[in-house]
Amino acid sequence: MNVPMVEGFLLGVIAVSSLIAGVFFLNFWKHTRDSLFLAFAVAFIIEGINRFAVLFIARTDEGSPWTYIVRLIAFLLILVAILKKNYGTNG
C-alpha cells in the first residue's frame, strides 16, 4: 500500500461518504420504489467500492483506465435511469 497518509485518509472519507449516500438513496428507493433512486444508490455504492479498491492496490494510479471505466459505468447507470424516467412508458 503506497498511498500517502493524507491521500489515504481523503480517499477513505470519499469512499465512506459515497457509501453513505448510496444507503440514503436505497432508503429513498425502499419508500418510493422509484428506479432513479435505485440507480443513484447503485452508482454511489459502486463509486465507494472503487475508492476503497484504490486504497488497497499496491501501485495506486488514479489515472488508470480501469478507474475511469468503473466511474463511466456508474454514470451511465444514472444516465439510463434518467432517460428511462423521462422517456419511458407510462403504462
User: Could you give the number of structural domains in the chain?
Assistant: 1
Q: Residue 35: is its pLDDT beyond 60?
A: yes
Select from 41, 39, 10, 36 the least CA-distant residue to 23: 41
The residue range of the domain holding 64 is 5-87
Nearest 5°: CA angle at 90, between 86 and 91? 155
Q: Classify each residue of 9-48 as buried b or exposed e, where b means 16 or more C-beta atoms within 10 Å of its C-beta.
A: eebeebbeebbebbeebbebbeeeeeebbbbbbbbbbbbb
- Model pLDDT for residues 39-72, shown as the tens digit of each residue: 999 999 999 999 998 888 766 666 778 888 999 9
Cell numbers of 14, please? 470519499
What's the pTM value of the predicted model, to 2 decimals?
0.85
* Percentage of the residues of the chain whose pLDDT score is greater than 90: 65
- Going by pLDDT thresholds of 50, 70 and 90, the confidence category of residue 1 is low
To the nearest whole number, what is the mean pLDDT of the chain? 89
